[in-house]
Structure 1
């Protein structure tokens, strides 16, 4: 989420990045190996919201390399 906001891209969120709403979900098109592993909060949101594996929660994910993403918000 921080990287998206710093790039000037809008991010959907009603919890301000607290890992509650899952509205900041992004689809990983390329580079999933360049993201931090899923944490407990993200795993809980994935399970409770029934999200597919190619979807990540941007407020819980840190970018460590090049990635290509898509998001329904845009």
Structure 2
């Protein structure tokens, strides 16, 4: 299961229900995908198919919606 947290322009933020416990978010774009760690600061974990500009834009989207992502993570996984 991969609940969508936010859609912002061409970016969809989501996470997988059965992945690692460290808080992070995946960002899908028509051209590719990226994964960002949220702590201690938002930073890129991996990316595939995205240009450096798209990665920068994706990171900005994550940062803009960080509270929504963190709230969704807590609601989905608890604690």
| TM-score scaled by length of structure 2 | 0.28
Query: Which one scores higher on RCO, CA 8 angstroms, separation ≥ 6?
Result: 1
| TM-score scaled by length of structure 1 | 0.29
Report the structure, 1 or 2, having the larger strand content.
2
